[in-house]
Structure 1
Amino acid sequence: MKSKISKILIIMGLLICVGSLSIKGYSKYLENKSTKSFEEKIDKNPNEPKEDDFSNVKAGDEIAIINIPAIKLNTVVIESIEKEYLNHYVCHFENTAMPGQYGNFSLAGHSSYRYNEVFNELHKISLGDEIIIKTLNNEFTYIVNDILEVNPEDTYVLDQDNEIKELTIVTCTNKGKDRLIVKAKIDDDKNNNK
Protein backbone atom coordinates (compact mmCIF):
# COMPACT_ATOMS: atom_id res chain seq x y z
CA MET A 1 0.00 0.00 0.00
CA LYS A 2 2.80 2.45 0.93
CA SER A 3 4.59 1.59 -2.30
CA LYS A 4 1.48 2.39 -4.35
CA ILE A 5 0.98 5.74 -2.55
CA SER A 6 4.66 6.59 -3.05
CA LYS A 7 4.39 5.89 -6.79
CA ILE A 8 1.26 8.04 -7.08
CA LEU A 9 2.96 10.91 -5.23
CA ILE A 10 6.05 10.65 -7.45
CA ILE A 11 3.89 10.69 -10.60
CA MET A 12 1.93 13.69 -9.31
CA GLY A 13 5.18 15.52 -8.50
CA LEU A 14 6.51 14.83 -11.99
CA LEU A 15 3.29 16.07 -13.58
CA ILE A 16 3.47 19.29 -11.55
CA CYS A 17 7.11 19.82 -12.60
CA VAL A 18 6.32 19.16 -16.27
CA GLY A 19 3.32 21.49 -16.08
CA SER A 20 5.40 24.25 -14.49
CA LEU A 21 8.14 23.89 -17.09
CA SER A 22 5.54 23.95 -19.87
CA ILE A 23 4.08 27.20 -18.54
CA LYS A 24 7.56 28.76 -18.27
CA GLY A 25 8.44 27.57 -21.77
CA TYR A 26 5.23 29.00 -23.19
CA SER A 27 5.80 32.29 -21.37
CA LYS A 28 9.38 32.55 -22.71
CA TYR A 29 8.12 31.71 -26.22
CA LEU A 30 5.53 34.54 -26.07
CA GLU A 31 8.10 37.00 -24.70
CA ASN A 32 10.69 36.15 -27.39
CA LYS A 33 8.10 36.26 -30.18
CA SER A 34 6.83 39.70 -29.13
CA THR A 35 10.35 41.06 -28.64
CA LYS A 36 11.41 39.94 -32.11
CA SER A 37 8.21 41.31 -33.64
CA PHE A 38 8.70 44.75 -32.05
CA GLU A 39 12.40 44.89 -32.94
CA GLU A 40 11.47 44.28 -36.59
CA LYS A 41 9.08 47.27 -36.46
CA ILE A 42 11.63 49.71 -35.04
CA ASP A 43 12.59 52.43 -37.50
CA LYS A 44 16.29 51.67 -37.76
CA ASN A 45 17.26 54.57 -40.03
CA PRO A 46 14.73 57.40 -39.94
CA ASN A 47 15.28 60.18 -42.46
CA GLU A 48 14.22 62.74 -39.89
CA PRO A 49 13.46 62.46 -36.18
CA LYS A 50 9.86 61.49 -35.46
CA GLU A 51 7.80 61.70 -32.33
CA ASP A 52 6.33 58.45 -31.06
CA ASP A 53 2.54 58.34 -31.17
CA PHE A 54 1.15 56.72 -28.05
CA SER A 55 -2.36 58.17 -28.45
CA ASN A 56 -4.01 54.91 -29.55
CA VAL A 57 -2.13 52.48 -27.32
CA LYS A 58 -4.35 49.83 -25.77
CA ALA A 59 -3.87 46.94 -23.35
CA GLY A 60 -1.64 44.25 -24.82
CA ASP A 61 0.14 46.51 -27.32
CA GLU A 62 3.93 46.36 -27.63
CA ILE A 63 5.24 49.85 -26.82
CA ALA A 64 9.01 49.52 -26.42
CA ILE A 65 12.04 47.34 -25.84
CA ILE A 66 13.83 47.54 -22.49
CA ASN A 67 17.55 46.79 -22.56
CA ILE A 68 19.59 46.60 -19.35
CA PRO A 69 23.13 45.66 -20.42
CA ALA A 70 24.36 45.11 -16.83
CA ILE A 71 22.01 42.13 -16.39
CA LYS A 72 21.82 41.12 -20.06
CA LEU A 73 18.10 41.88 -20.31
CA ASN A 74 16.53 42.75 -23.66
CA THR A 75 12.78 42.29 -23.89
CA VAL A 76 9.55 43.86 -25.01
CA VAL A 77 7.37 46.17 -22.89
CA ILE A 78 3.61 45.59 -23.10
CA GLU A 79 0.91 48.12 -22.21
CA SER A 80 -1.14 47.16 -19.12
CA ILE A 81 -0.29 45.37 -15.91
CA GLU A 82 -3.27 43.04 -16.16
CA LYS A 83 -2.34 39.52 -15.04
CA GLU A 84 -2.71 38.04 -18.55
CA TYR A 85 0.19 40.25 -19.69
CA LEU A 86 2.19 40.51 -16.45
CA ASN A 87 2.64 36.74 -16.27
CA HIS A 88 4.58 36.81 -19.56
CA TYR A 89 6.09 40.27 -20.09
CA VAL A 90 7.50 43.47 -18.68
CA CYS A 91 4.42 45.67 -18.44
CA HIS A 92 3.76 49.42 -18.43
CA PHE A 93 1.52 50.88 -15.74
CA GLU A 94 -1.30 52.58 -17.60
CA ASN A 95 -1.70 56.27 -16.84
CA THR A 96 1.99 56.78 -16.16
CA ALA A 97 4.36 58.61 -18.52
CA MET A 98 5.41 56.96 -21.76
CA PRO A 99 9.08 56.47 -22.76
CA GLY A 100 11.04 59.74 -22.96
CA GLN A 101 8.14 61.84 -21.68
CA TYR A 102 8.09 64.06 -18.61
CA GLY A 103 6.77 62.13 -15.65
CA ASN A 104 7.38 58.63 -14.32
CA PHE A 105 7.54 55.89 -16.98
CA SER A 106 6.62 52.98 -14.69
CA LEU A 107 7.14 49.28 -15.41
CA ALA A 108 6.45 45.99 -13.61
CA GLY A 109 7.55 42.42 -14.16
CA HIS A 110 7.99 39.17 -12.30
CA SER A 111 11.11 37.93 -10.59
CA SER A 112 9.89 34.52 -9.58
CA TYR A 113 10.17 30.93 -10.62
CA ARG A 114 6.41 30.62 -10.87
CA TYR A 115 5.80 33.10 -13.67
CA ASN A 116 8.01 34.84 -16.18
CA GLU A 117 11.48 35.31 -14.71
CA VAL A 118 12.19 38.52 -16.60
CA PHE A 119 13.48 40.50 -13.60
CA ASN A 120 15.18 37.62 -11.72
CA GLU A 121 18.56 39.36 -12.08
CA LEU A 122 17.33 42.90 -11.29
CA HIS A 123 18.78 42.70 -7.77
CA LYS A 124 22.25 42.75 -9.40
CA ILE A 125 21.76 46.21 -10.91
CA SER A 126 23.91 49.06 -9.56
CA LEU A 127 23.68 52.82 -9.27
CA GLY A 128 24.91 54.37 -12.51
CA ASP A 129 23.87 51.44 -14.73
CA GLU A 130 22.13 52.28 -18.01
CA ILE A 131 18.59 51.28 -18.92
CA ILE A 132 17.91 51.78 -22.62
CA ILE A 133 14.35 52.09 -23.88
CA LYS A 134 13.79 51.71 -27.63
CA THR A 135 10.48 52.83 -29.09
CA LEU A 136 9.44 52.63 -32.73
CA ASN A 137 11.13 55.94 -33.52
CA ASN A 138 13.49 56.79 -30.65
CA GLU A 139 15.94 55.49 -28.11
CA PHE A 140 16.17 56.83 -24.56
CA THR A 141 18.92 56.15 -22.04
CA TYR A 142 18.08 56.30 -18.35
CA ILE A 143 20.70 56.13 -15.57
CA VAL A 144 19.90 54.22 -12.35
CA ASN A 145 19.91 56.68 -9.45
CA ASP A 146 18.09 54.79 -6.68
CA ILE A 147 17.47 51.19 -5.61
CA LEU A 148 15.20 50.43 -2.68
CA GLU A 149 12.79 47.93 -1.17
CA VAL A 150 9.28 48.94 -0.16
CA ASN A 151 6.06 47.34 1.06
CA PRO A 152 3.48 46.47 -1.63
CA GLU A 153 1.27 49.30 -0.29
CA ASP A 154 3.97 51.94 -0.94
CA THR A 155 2.63 53.17 -4.25
CA TYR A 156 4.29 56.58 -3.87
CA VAL A 157 7.13 55.17 -6.01
CA LEU A 158 4.79 55.54 -9.00
CA ASP A 159 3.98 59.21 -8.33
CA GLN A 160 4.23 61.47 -11.36
CA ASP A 161 6.52 64.50 -11.35
CA ASN A 162 6.02 66.37 -14.62
CA GLU A 163 9.23 68.34 -14.07
CA ILE A 164 11.51 65.35 -14.71
CA LYS A 165 11.79 62.34 -17.02
CA GLU A 166 12.19 59.26 -14.88
CA LEU A 167 11.74 55.50 -15.02
CA THR A 168 10.59 53.19 -12.23
CA ILE A 169 10.81 49.39 -12.30
CA VAL A 170 8.79 47.36 -9.79
CA THR A 171 9.30 43.66 -9.07
CA CYS A 172 8.87 41.30 -6.14
CA THR A 173 11.53 40.47 -3.60
CA ASN A 174 11.67 38.62 -0.28
CA LYS A 175 9.50 35.77 -1.65
CA GLY A 176 6.85 38.23 -2.82
CA LYS A 177 6.47 39.99 0.53
CA ASP A 178 8.18 43.22 -0.59
CA ARG A 179 8.88 45.13 -3.79
CA LEU A 180 12.29 45.88 -5.28
CA ILE A 181 12.24 49.33 -6.86
CA VAL A 182 14.78 50.60 -9.38
CA LYS A 183 14.58 54.30 -10.21
CA ALA A 184 16.39 55.98 -13.09
CA LYS A 185 16.50 59.45 -14.63
CA ILE A 186 16.89 60.21 -18.29
CA ASP A 187 20.44 60.99 -19.39
CA ASP A 188 20.06 64.30 -21.24
CA ASP A 189 23.59 64.06 -22.64
CA LYS A 190 22.80 60.80 -24.44
CA ASN A 191 19.29 61.81 -25.43
CA ASN A 192 20.07 65.26 -26.86
CA ASN A 193 17.33 66.73 -24.63
CA LYS A 194 14.56 64.87 -26.49
Structure 2
Amino acid sequence: MRNVKVTTGIVSILIGLILVSIPLYQEWKTGKEIEKLTQAVNLISNEASAQTMDEEFAYAKDVIWLEIPDIDLNQMILPETTEDNLSLGLTQIKPNQVPGEGNFTVAGHRGYRGDRFFRNLPEVPIGSKVNLIVGDQTYTYEIMTSQIIEPTQTDILLDEEGKNEITLITCTVDGKQRVALKGLLLT
Protein backbone atom coordinates (compact mmCIF):
# COMPACT_ATOMS: atom_id res chain seq x y z
CA MET A 1 0.00 0.00 0.00
CA ARG A 2 2.82 2.40 0.86
CA ASN A 3 4.49 1.76 -2.55
CA VAL A 4 1.24 2.62 -4.32
CA LYS A 5 0.99 5.95 -2.46
CA VAL A 6 4.64 6.81 -3.18
CA THR A 7 4.27 5.86 -6.85
CA THR A 8 1.02 7.86 -7.12
CA GLY A 9 2.72 10.87 -5.50
CA ILE A 10 5.72 10.71 -7.84
CA VAL A 11 3.48 10.34 -10.90
CA SER A 12 1.35 13.30 -9.75
CA ILE A 13 4.44 15.46 -9.28
CA LEU A 14 5.78 14.49 -12.72
CA ILE A 15 2.43 15.26 -14.38
CA GLY A 16 2.35 18.62 -12.59
CA LEU A 17 5.87 19.48 -13.75
CA ILE A 18 4.99 18.56 -17.32
CA LEU A 19 1.83 20.68 -17.25
CA VAL A 20 3.73 23.67 -15.84
CA SER A 21 6.58 23.31 -18.34
CA ILE A 22 4.40 23.26 -21.48
CA PRO A 23 3.49 27.00 -21.47
CA LEU A 24 7.02 27.91 -20.40
CA TYR A 25 8.43 25.92 -23.32
CA GLN A 26 5.94 27.52 -25.74
CA GLU A 27 6.92 30.98 -24.50
CA TRP A 28 10.63 30.18 -24.84
CA LYS A 29 10.08 28.81 -28.35
CA THR A 30 8.05 31.87 -29.40
CA GLY A 31 10.74 34.15 -27.96
CA LYS A 32 13.38 32.39 -30.05
CA GLU A 33 11.24 32.76 -33.20
CA ILE A 34 10.71 36.47 -32.50
CA GLU A 35 14.44 36.92 -31.90
CA LYS A 36 15.26 35.22 -35.23
CA LEU A 37 12.65 37.30 -37.07
CA THR A 38 13.95 40.54 -35.58
CA GLN A 39 17.55 39.63 -36.41
CA ALA A 40 16.56 38.75 -39.97
CA VAL A 41 14.74 42.06 -40.46
CA ASN A 42 17.65 44.01 -38.98
CA LEU A 43 20.15 42.12 -41.16
CA ILE A 44 18.07 42.69 -44.28
CA SER A 45 17.57 46.36 -43.38
CA ASN A 46 21.31 46.86 -42.86
CA GLU A 47 22.21 45.05 -46.08
CA ALA A 48 19.47 46.86 -47.95
CA SER A 49 20.69 50.29 -46.93
CA ALA A 50 24.26 49.30 -47.69
CA GLN A 51 23.24 48.16 -51.17
CA THR A 52 21.06 51.22 -51.82
CA MET A 53 17.88 49.21 -51.57
CA ASP A 54 18.05 46.56 -54.27
CA GLU A 55 14.62 45.22 -55.22
CA GLU A 56 15.14 41.95 -53.36
CA PHE A 57 15.47 43.95 -50.10
CA ALA A 58 12.88 46.63 -50.87
CA TYR A 59 10.32 45.31 -48.39
CA ALA A 60 12.73 45.80 -45.49
CA LYS A 61 12.38 49.57 -45.74
CA ASP A 62 8.64 49.16 -45.16
CA VAL A 63 8.92 47.36 -41.83
CA ILE A 64 6.77 49.21 -39.31
CA TRP A 65 7.74 49.43 -35.65
CA LEU A 66 5.38 50.39 -32.83
CA GLU A 67 6.86 52.26 -29.92
CA ILE A 68 4.93 53.02 -26.73
CA PRO A 69 7.40 54.62 -24.29
CA ASP A 70 5.00 54.54 -21.31
CA ILE A 71 5.09 50.72 -21.27
CA ASP A 72 8.59 50.30 -22.75
CA LEU A 73 7.20 48.62 -25.87
CA ASN A 74 9.16 48.66 -29.14
CA GLN A 75 8.02 45.91 -31.49
CA MET A 76 7.76 45.15 -35.16
CA ILE A 77 4.27 45.04 -36.71
CA LEU A 78 3.75 42.14 -39.10
CA PRO A 79 1.77 43.05 -42.23
CA GLU A 80 -1.05 40.52 -41.87
CA THR A 81 -3.18 39.18 -39.02
CA THR A 82 -2.99 35.39 -38.95
CA GLU A 83 -2.80 32.98 -36.02
CA ASP A 84 0.86 32.30 -36.84
CA ASN A 85 1.69 36.02 -37.00
CA LEU A 86 -0.23 36.76 -33.80
CA SER A 87 1.80 34.09 -32.04
CA LEU A 88 4.96 35.96 -33.07
CA GLY A 89 3.96 39.54 -32.37
CA LEU A 90 1.85 42.51 -33.35
CA THR A 91 -0.06 42.55 -36.64
CA GLN A 92 -1.86 44.96 -38.92
CA ILE A 93 -5.57 44.24 -38.81
CA LYS A 94 -6.44 45.81 -42.17
CA PRO A 95 -4.32 45.02 -45.23
CA ASN A 96 -2.33 47.72 -47.05
CA GLN A 97 -2.52 50.30 -44.28
CA VAL A 98 -0.33 53.38 -44.49
CA PRO A 99 0.86 55.11 -41.31
CA GLY A 100 -0.52 58.62 -41.00
CA GLU A 101 -3.47 57.89 -43.30
CA GLY A 102 -6.90 56.90 -42.01
CA ASN A 103 -7.23 54.51 -39.07
CA PHE A 104 -4.07 52.42 -38.70
CA THR A 105 -5.16 49.30 -36.79
CA VAL A 106 -2.91 46.95 -34.81
CA ALA A 107 -3.76 43.72 -32.96
CA GLY A 108 -1.70 41.74 -30.50
CA HIS A 109 -2.12 38.99 -27.94
CA ARG A 110 -1.57 39.81 -24.29
CA GLY A 111 1.18 37.19 -23.95
CA TYR A 112 1.79 34.99 -20.94
CA ARG A 113 4.44 36.91 -19.06
CA GLY A 114 6.86 39.76 -19.50
CA ASP A 115 6.33 42.77 -21.70
CA ARG A 116 6.01 41.11 -25.11
CA PHE A 117 2.97 41.63 -27.27
CA PHE A 118 0.23 43.82 -25.78
CA ARG A 119 0.31 42.47 -22.22
CA ASN A 120 0.64 45.97 -20.75
CA LEU A 121 -1.56 47.79 -23.28
CA PRO A 122 -4.36 48.42 -20.75
CA GLU A 123 -1.83 50.34 -18.60
CA VAL A 124 -1.24 52.98 -21.30
CA PRO A 125 -2.68 56.24 -19.91
CA ILE A 126 -4.78 58.69 -21.87
CA GLY A 127 -2.47 61.37 -23.30
CA SER A 128 0.40 58.94 -23.92
CA LYS A 129 2.39 59.22 -27.12
CA VAL A 130 2.57 56.25 -29.49
CA ASN A 131 4.97 56.15 -32.44
CA LEU A 132 4.77 54.26 -35.71
CA ILE A 133 8.23 54.16 -37.24
CA VAL A 134 8.90 53.30 -40.89
CA GLY A 135 12.50 53.76 -41.97
CA ASP A 136 13.46 57.29 -40.95
CA GLN A 137 9.84 58.51 -40.75
CA THR A 138 8.04 58.66 -37.37
CA TYR A 139 4.29 59.15 -36.98
CA THR A 140 3.32 60.20 -33.46
CA TYR A 141 -0.18 59.68 -32.11
CA GLU A 142 -1.70 60.78 -28.81
CA ILE A 143 -3.92 58.24 -27.04
CA MET A 144 -7.37 59.77 -26.61
CA THR A 145 -9.52 56.83 -25.42
CA SER A 146 -9.20 53.43 -23.79
CA GLN A 147 -12.24 51.21 -23.58
CA ILE A 148 -13.43 47.64 -23.18
CA ILE A 149 -15.45 46.51 -26.21
CA GLU A 150 -17.15 43.37 -27.43
CA PRO A 151 -15.34 41.31 -30.10
CA THR A 152 -18.20 42.11 -32.50
CA GLN A 153 -17.63 45.89 -32.29
CA THR A 154 -15.63 46.08 -35.51
CA ASP A 155 -16.80 49.61 -36.33
CA ILE A 156 -13.86 50.81 -34.20
CA LEU A 157 -11.60 49.70 -37.07
CA LEU A 158 -13.24 51.84 -39.74
CA ASP A 159 -11.68 54.96 -41.22
CA GLU A 160 -13.38 58.27 -40.47
CA GLU A 161 -13.12 60.82 -43.24
CA GLY A 162 -10.55 63.49 -42.45
CA LYS A 163 -9.32 61.68 -39.33
CA ASN A 164 -5.85 60.09 -39.06
CA GLU A 165 -5.73 57.83 -36.05
CA ILE A 166 -4.40 54.60 -34.61
CA THR A 167 -6.36 51.78 -32.98
CA LEU A 168 -4.57 49.25 -30.76
CA ILE A 169 -6.48 46.12 -29.73
CA THR A 170 -5.84 43.18 -27.41
CA CYS A 171 -7.96 40.78 -25.38
CA THR A 172 -9.08 41.27 -21.81
CA VAL A 173 -7.50 38.88 -19.30
CA ASP A 174 -10.39 36.41 -19.64
CA GLY A 175 -10.38 36.74 -23.45
CA LYS A 176 -14.11 37.44 -23.66
CA GLN A 177 -13.82 41.14 -24.55
CA ARG A 178 -11.27 43.46 -26.13
CA VAL A 179 -9.23 46.39 -24.85
CA ALA A 180 -9.18 49.12 -27.52
CA LEU A 181 -7.04 52.24 -27.43
CA LYS A 182 -7.49 55.02 -29.97
CA GLY A 183 -5.12 57.83 -30.69
CA LEU A 184 -5.01 60.82 -33.03
CA LEU A 185 -2.08 61.67 -35.30
CA LEU A 186 -0.21 64.74 -34.09
CA THR A 187 0.74 67.19 -36.81
Q: Taking structure 1 as the reference length, what is the TM-score of the superposition? A: 0.78
| SS, match of residue 106 in structure 1 | strand
| Aligned twin of 2:83 | 83
Question: Which amino acid in structure 1 is aligned with residue 22 of structure 2?
Answer: G
Larger radius of gyration: 2
Q: 1:34 to 1:134 in 2, by over 3 A?
A: farther
Q: How does 1:32-181 map to 2 (within 5 A)?
A: 32-39=35-42, 41=45, 63-95=63-95, 97-101=97-101, 103-113=102-112, 117-181=116-180
Deviation at 1:39, TM superposition (A): 4.9
Q: Give the aligned length.
A: 171
Q: 1:168 to 1:96 in 2, by over 3 A?
A: farther
**1:30-87 deviation digits (Å, cap 9, x = unpaired):** 2233334445628xx9xxxxxxxxxx97xxxx73111100000011100111101101
Question: Which amino acid in structure 2 is aligned with residue 3 of structure 1?
Answer: V
CA distance in 2 between counterparts of 1:159 and 1:14 reads: 46
Taking only aligned residues, the RMSD between alpha carbons, in angstroms, comes to: 2.6
2:19 to 16, 20, 32: 16
CA distance in 1 between counterparts of 2:18 and 2:108 reads: 27
- Runs of 4+ in structure 1 displaced over 4 angstroms? none
CA distance in 2 between counterparts of 1:97 and 1:76 reads: 15
Q: Could you tell me whether the CA contact under 8 Å between 2:79 and 2:95 is conserved in 1? A: no
Amino-acid identity (%): 24
Q: Unpaired segments of 5 or more residues in structure 2?
A: 50-57
Which protein is richer in helix relative to its size? 2
Q: Could you tell me whether the CA contact under 8 Å between 2:80 and 2:95 is conserved in 1? A: no
Question: Which amino acid in structure 2 is aligned with residue 71 of structure 1?
Answer: I
Q: 1:142 to 1:37 in 2, by over 3 A?
A: farther
